Structure 1
Amino acid sequence: MSVASLQDTGQDDISADQEHSERSPLLTKTTSARARTPLPWRQLFVLFWIQLAEPLSAMVIYPFINKMVIDLPITGGDEAKMGYYAGLIESLFSIAQALTVLYWSRLSDRIGRKPVILVGLFGLTLSLVLFGISTTFTGLVISRCLSGALNGNAGVMKSMMGEITDETNVARTMSLMPVIWNTGATVGPIIGGWLSNPHEQFPVLFSGKFWEHYPYALPCHVIAMYCAATLIMSFFYLEESLISHPPPADTSTPHYYTQPSLSQVLTPRVRIAVISYAFLAFLDIALRALHPLFLTASPSFGGLSLSVRAVGTCLAAFFIVSGVYQAFAFAPLYEWMGPKRIYIVSMWTFVPIYVLFPMMRASLGSDENLNIVTWLELALQIVLYTIMDMGFSSAIIYVRGSAPNAYSLGATNGLAQTVVSIVRAVGPISATSLFSLSVQISIWLQSHWGESWKRRVVGFLGGNLIYIVFVLVSLIGVVAVMRVPESPIVTNEADDAEAPPRLEAMEISSVERGSGNICT
């Protein structure tokens, strides 16, 4: 339950029975008589600044990770194996996060959101410093796992935003989250692409042996400095949003609830919200891993053979367009279409997005250079990606609205983030491995089956295996999203018979309301 909602409860003259009948887990039905609550911009600014650290940390490696794998003694110079190792490194963060994020989220329900967020920022800082100076596969693995294991911020920040907003302003807040993510996802690849190999690109400024020996340290350390500065700022300016009330003498009172168990949190409404969110996250992270690999790989290995700098610029273009669109379009579309229709349309866009990959490869001329058709297809992908990205705002709103009560908001977001972290761990390595497998199938058929019709048919299917698989997964994702309720504000509680009691109205003292302080 948001702080704003609690304050309204303390001010409105509403009977307990009426409040219970009209209140869903975390959201209440908005009536025309209720004014829109102003957004808490100061707190949101700090949270958005923190949120920016994660996409910066995640996306900074994407322009150079494939080249880094080739440069280091990992693949033995075999470009066909590049996708396997690059995908594994990209997945390690999510694997480690999946093992720990639920612990961090449930811990934040007990000790508060702020301490957990500070630990997460420290983990990002340390891992980036180590990643930039790693010269072995083991070093890359350890630094990437450290980042995920110490960082539970993705789930905790969603809980925090759920507590400082209510049903009248949640759409506006959630529409800004993809903007922040896309800002980081824009700047991250630019930094990763333009600051790699500084001893070659900027020899006057970076002529020392250090930069020659560690060609990818500069972009990683620049982002590490951002995370360290954010840690310091959060320590001083981030306010705790978790309200802690001491237990009454008689704990049998209906207004006192302990933290529910995971089985109580995992209601049918939560399961549907989490599963649909998982499909969206899986297809998105697979696309993020596949796209730079496709752009980097040479035409003979199924790609477009762009430079690291060009890859960073292309990735930045994706997120710039999407971020601007989200900032201005999502809230009006949310009110017009509703979250479910936005969700369904977003999931559908994955089908043409994945189909465009083999179309771009086929559009290359005999000299295997990019032409106007290829660039137009790439531009169309950007437009479709922008539409798809709206689905995340709907997904977050559905997860927030499915929480059984305010004491389970952290656990609900933690469960969702655990599942999402698992699929985000599987997504990159499955996409890049399928890409390499498709290339290997195509190369093998060319050398063994000649020019028969059988080779052409099987070669087409095998060479495009990755795109066929992900189109089918996209269609399954559409079916999953169709099962979510029409609105995240659900008043039918028959399906939650085993859930813990709903959180009733909690009184906030006049001192708390007047000072604006939040108990920790």
Structure 2
Amino acid sequence: MDTSDSPRTVASENTPLFPAEASQKPKTPLPKRQISILMMLQLAEPIASTSIFPYINQLISELGITGGDDAAVGYYAGIIVGGDMTTCENGFLIVYFGYTQQESLFFVAQALTVLRWSRLSDRIGRKPVLVIGLSGACISILCFGLSTTFWSLVISRCTCGFLNGNVGVMKTMMGELTDSTNMAQAFALFPIVWSLGGFVGPLIGGALARPQDHWPALFANPFWGKYPYFLPCAVAACLFILAFFMMLIFLEETLSTKCRPKLTSATLGVSGGESLHQQSMAYAPLRSLLTPTVVVPIANYAMLAFLDVSFRALLPLFLSTPTYLGGLEFTPSSIGSWLAFFGVMDGVFQALFFAKIVDRFGPKRLFFLMVAWDMAFGTVFMFITASAPTNTVLGAINGLGQTSASMARALGPALATSLFAVSKERNILAGNAAYVVLIMLAGVLRWLGSQLPDEVQDRNE
């Protein structure tokens, strides 16, 4: 009989068996080599896509499609890079904002095919789809540099979108290489890489375009006179080739039904008995995946992408608009400096603090707090990844998310900037109608965010 006078804790149904600290799983170390290769593949894409920004206006002018009308250059350039030329009454607001890092043609083409590529990766493996995507991107950028007509430019960008499902597949691989304990660290790298690519790409395009003008002795061959913008495209293509061979040699397959036994047992934890069932899941009808668990994160991603691209399209307009129309009347060089500063600071902040803030507040609370930052993308990627019941449908779910986001990014700039111009011309809501609409949509996003689960869990939990 215990006669101790020490106090006892009376257990009840609500008493946890273990303290919260003890039940918290330790962080799994990141597979740094595999993730580094993925980031190298990812880096090549923003470098290539943004390298055309410094010279696209001049290229359009030299094609002669505008008939000498400089004011029309922005319309045609906008088709290629997602910008536009918006003119307010009396010509006071004539702004080209192609430098929004969005490509309308690419996103439209990608929206039509990315789901098919993602579903294909669930069946034949991730690496074969990456091979096709990198090859298509490489060929596309080379064709862009060799284009001498406007429609050849259009075809090259559409080709890249049609053949490139890499973004969704890379997110899928990242989800397969991580779990709920280290996912935040891994997904924080995506915006950082895009920020770095968006910084390096324009430098390459601006420095290497028209090499005969800068280094006539070195580029004396008539080829460089006929194709003055091929050199930056060739450099971007070389990055794709380098990424291609790195992926082919060093990157391991992550799809559980296709990967080597070593990766299956050590990294993915899939037993042989589960393999056949998971492989059959890859052929499940798409409709069967559209559960609330999957649809809610994707809806958040689509709305976030729409608001983000709309903001990026409106920001240069707001900065360049005359002060009497409600803008700041910055010069183009000042706009470029501020946008570059914002991009660098955003990337640095995420690299240093994203994972720590997720650990401190949780992904759902961070989504609310940082909805205006790229951090919100990192958290929503985590929810989309966790929504997949098995790895063999993770590609399809990421494909659905990427399709929704691509459609939003294709529509956002045109709708936002058109509303901006109309509200200024007709003085709707004192010229602030575009901002009011975006604030209302942000409220919708906040409601959608409230439907997200409180925590991100592993797919096997």
Normalising by the smaller structure, the TM-score range is 0.7 to 0.9
Q: Is residue 154 of structure 1 aligned with residue 120 of structure 2? A: no
| Matching of residues 217-228 of structure 1 within 5 Å | 217-228=230-241
Structure 2 Cα separation of the partners of residues 144 and 85 of structure 1: 13
Aligned to 1:448: none
Aligned to 1:46: 37
Aligned amino acid, residue 392 of structure 2: Y
Aligned to 2:332: 306
| Matching of residues 186-265 of structure 1 within 5 Å | 186-244=199-257, 257-259=280-282, 260-265=284-289
State the Cα deviation string for residues 398-439 of structure 1 (Å, max 9, x = none).
11122233322111101001111111222344456667x559
2:136 to 88, 99, 123: 123
Aligned to 1:489: 455
Q: Is the 8 A contact 1:283 1:474 kept in 2?
A: no
Aligned to 1:279: 303
Aligned amino acid, residue 172 of structure 1: Q
Query: SS in structure 1 opposite 2:296?
Result: helix
Aligned to 1:407: 392
Structure 1 Cα separation of the partners of residues 138 and 157 of structure 2: 11
- Structure 1 residues 282 and 65: CA distance shift in structure 2, 3 A: farther
Aligned amino acid, residue 299 of structure 2: I
Aligned to 2:370: 346
Aligned amino acid, residue 129 of structure 1: L
Aligned to 2:408: 423
Q: Cα offset for 1:299?
A: 11
Structure 1 Cα separation of the partners of residues 433 and 107 of structure 2: 25
- Structure 1 residues 280 and 81: CA distance shift in structure 2, 3 A: farther
Q: Is residue 65 of structure 1 aligned with residue 56 of structure 2? A: yes
Aligned to 1:450: none
Relative to the length of structure 2, the TM-score reads 0.77
| Matching of residues 363-512 of structure 1 within 5 Å | 388-431=373-416, 442=425, 458=426, 460-461=427-428, 468-469=433-434, 471-484=436-449, 485=451, 487=453, 489=455
Aligned to 1:445: none
Aligned amino acid, residue 176 of structure 2: E
Structure 2 Cα separation of the partners of residues 85 and 295 of structure 1: 22
- Structure 1 residues 258 and 337: CA distance shift in structure 2, 3 A: closer
Aligned to 2:13: none
Q: Cα offset for 1:143?
A: 0.2
Structure 2 Cα separation of the partners of residues 83 and 434 of structure 1: 18
Structure 2 Cα separation of the partners of residues 256 and 132 of structure 1: 42
Structure 1 Cα separation of the partners of residues 177 and 435 of structure 2: 37
Give aligned-pair identity as a percent.
44
- Structure 1 residues 256 and 79: CA distance shift in structure 2, 3 A: closer
Query: SS in structure 2 opposite 1:88?
Result: helix
Q: Cα offset for 1:315?
A: 4.6
Query: SS in structure 2 opposite 1:482?
Result: helix
Structure 2 Cα separation of the partners of residues 201 and 434 of structure 1: 41
Q: Is the 8 A contact 2:419 2:433 kept in 1?
A: no
Number of aligned residue pairs: give it. 406
Aligned amino acid, residue 476 of structure 1: L
Q: Is the 8 A contact 2:364 2:379 kept in 1?
A: yes
Structure 2 Cα separation of the partners of residues 423 and 163 of structure 1: 26
State the Cα deviation string for residues 41-86 of structure 1 (Å, max 9, x = none).
0100110101112211222222332343334323333344344322
| Matching of residues 175-190 of structure 1 within 5 Å | 175-190=188-203
Q: Is the 8 A contact 1:296 1:311 kept in 2?
A: yes
- Once structures 1 and 2 are overlaid, which stretch shifts more, 180-189 or 159-168? 180-189
Structure 1 Cα separation of the partners of residues 385 and 349 of structure 2: 23
Q: Is the 8 A contact 2:53 2:205 kept in 1?
A: yes
Q: Is residue 332 of structure 1 aligned with residue 298 of structure 2? A: no
Q: Cα offset for 1:289?
A: 4.9
2:154 to 137, 141, 144: 141
- Structure 1: runs of 5 or more not aligned: 1-28, 350-387, 443-457, 492-501, 506-520
Query: SS in structure 2 opposite 1:483?
Result: helix
Q: Is the 8 A contact 2:278 2:390 kept in 1?
A: no
Alignment RMSD, CA only? 3.7
- Structure 1 residues 230 and 289: CA distance shift in structure 2, 3 A: farther
1:105 to 118, 121, 128: 118
Q: Is the 8 A contact 2:309 2:413 kept in 1?
A: yes
Q: Is the 8 A contact 1:402 1:488 kept in 2?
A: no
- Structure 2: runs of 5 or more not aligned: 1-19, 82-103, 260-270
Q: Is residue 269 of structure 1 aligned with residue 293 of structure 2? A: yes
Aligned to 2:264: none
- Structure 1 residues 238 and 476: CA distance shift in structure 2, 3 A: same
Q: Is the 8 A contact 2:255 2:391 kept in 1?
A: no
Structure 1 Cα separation of the partners of residues 62 and 299 of structure 2: 39
- Structure 1 residues 144 and 69: CA distance shift in structure 2, 3 A: same
Q: Cα offset for 1:284?
A: 2.6
Aligned amino acid, residue 286 of structure 2: L
Aligned to 1:77: 68
Q: Is the 8 A contact 2:130 2:166 kept in 1?
A: yes
Relative to the length of structure 1, the TM-score reads 0.69
Aligned amino acid, residue 244 of structure 2: L
Q: Cα offset for 1:285?
A: 3.0
State the Cα deviation string for residues 140-164 of structure 1 (Å, max 9, x = none).
1100001011100111111111111
- Structure 1 residues 137 and 392: CA distance shift in structure 2, 3 A: same
Structure 2 Cα separation of the partners of residues 474 and 411 of structure 1: 31
